Amino acid sequence: MRIPLPPAVKTRLKNLYWQAKDVLRRPPESYKHKKLLRIFELCRLYNLIPDTPGDIVECGVGTGSSLLTLAALAKEEGRGRTVWGFDSFEGFPEPAPEDASERGVRKGEWGFATLSRMQSRIDEAKAERVKLVKGFFETTTPHFKQPIALLHIDADLYESYKTVLANLFDNVVPGGVVAFDEYGSKKWPGATKAVDEFLTGKKYELKKIYGKYYLVK
Ligand SMILES: C[S@@+](CC[C@H](N)C(=O)[O-])C[C@H]1O[C@@H](n2cnc3c(N)ncnc32)[C@H](O)[C@@H]1O
């Protein structure tokens, strides 16, 4: 004998059914999927440098998702590489006209991602051999002299990309990898322009892993 369900339970079940269907139908661009892809991208990039000497450098640390992933990969590799994180830790500098897009961008965005916040995340994650360099790239990157095996640029803006490439590209060793997080993104036209300008007349080929562009030097 079937016991009829009370109408309230029936409605609840129906709602759950539609919610589940909605989750399954969600496009792969959903937030969690994007986060997972970023981890895969970084793993794949990291796997390109097993025999390449040098440190790992990220320009544009924000709240540290990618930096902590890189630090975990370096720890697992056990080669003793240092993972450097460059950021103002007070948000964006003044954007350039090249950065204008529908998204809109303002000086000071990411200002919530402070140095102390990042340091706590590093401590919490028990990440090792991570060094943070606070300041705008224009002042910090010219002093960096270490060889780089992987340079991950996640700085969004035209001038920031230009500065990092001008000051750090020569530190990338032969066989090293340079990854451009925003290349090809409509939201960040300045990043694409800066990379294209930098690569004009150079022999490097842009490649792609999932959504991320990179080159091997
Ligand atoms: C998109 S966020 C980085 C996100 C981060 N990689 C993550 O996984 O969460 C961009 C960062 O670049 C930094 N940034 C952009 N231009 C900069 C510059 N010229 N000097 C220093 N930091 C800069 C901003 O402060 C911001 O924290």
Taking the chain (217 residues) in runs of 10, the rounded mean pLDDT of each run is 63 57 59 83 96 98 97 96 98 98 96 97 96 98 97 98 98 98 97 98 95 95
- CATH architecture of structural domain 29-216: 3-Layer(aba) Sandwich (3.40)
Q: How far apart are the first and last CA of the chain?
A: 73
Digit-coded pLDDT (tens) for 66-100: 999 999 999 999 999 999 999 999 999 999 999 99
Digit-coded pLDDT (tens) for 2-17: 666 666 656 565 555 5
Half-sphere exposure of residue 19: CA atoms within 13 angstroms, side-chain side: 6
Q: Domain spans of the chain?
A: 29-216
Are the C-beta atoms of 91 and 180 separated by less than 8 Å? no
Annotate 113-144 with b (16+ C-beta within 10 A) or e (fewer). bbbeebeebbeebebeebebbbebbbebbeeb
The DSSP secondary-structure symbol of 10 reads H
Substitution site in 160, 163, 187 for ligand 1 pocket (most atoms within 8 Å of beta carbon): 160
CA of residue 58 to ligand 1 center, whole Å: 9
Dist CA 200 CA 183 (whole Å): 15
Q: What's the predicted TM-score (pTM) here?
A: 0.88
CA of residue 154 to ligand 1 center, whole Å: 6
